[in-house]
Amino acid sequence: MSQFDVVLFDIGGVLLTNGWDRHERAKVFARFGIDAADYEARQRDLYILWDTGKITRDEFLNATVFYKPRPFSREEYWAAVLEQTQLLPDGAMGILEEIVASNKYLVGALNNEPRETNEYRFSHFGLSRSLRVRLSSCYLGLHKPDLAYYRRALDILDCAPERVLFIDDRTENVAAAREVGIQALLFEGEKKLRAQLEELQVL
């Protein structure tokens, strides 16, 4: 019998690209002529509100980009934002599919993501077929690495923390998961993760 009942994946940086990190933003800003420093100042206190479902996409965009007339449409800008999400090179998508195919675990997402980009990523990349539980920040109203986030996830799963395996690419998120008793692995590429999961007899 496996030592785990649940396997949870972060998405950005593990399965897909982050989608809106500093380098990805820079490409979009260069394309549309957006002042990066101005954007960063405006979004500093707002992004986490969007990320945790406390404001909508349009409220966020109105405050950060469309607070003044622009020579491009909201639709053009949003399409460019979504284009930044791609399959992650050396990512764990293949491993995810193997774990799902084994039919041994409840497999889900434990990720920080605004609702609109989260739903795009799930639909566009077929994650809905694999990730049966979406413990995303936009639905829980909490944000990694807040310990309350992990405790809320455990309440929803109704699962002992030691029966949950979590995979994330950020050390602070892994450390927080371990603090509440979840076994967590730091993602550092497909080859290393595969070896770790074979050692744990997950693969």
Left if phi > 0, otherwise alpha if psi is -120 to 50, otherwise beta: which for 53? Answer: left
Q: Express each pLDDT in 95-139 by its tens digit.
A: 999 999 999 999 999 999 999 999 999 999 999 999 999 999 999
- From CA 38, how far away is CA 40, in angstroms rounded? 6
Is residue 192 over pLDDT 90?
yes
- pTM: predicted TM-score of the whole model, two decimal places: 0.94
Q: Is 62 helix (H, G, I), strand (E, B) or coil?
A: helix
Q: Express each pLDDT in 45-104 by its tens digit.
A: 899 999 999 999 999 999 999 999 999 999 999 999 999 999 999 999 999 999 999 999
Query: Would you mind telling me the total number of residues written for the chain in this entry?
Result: 203
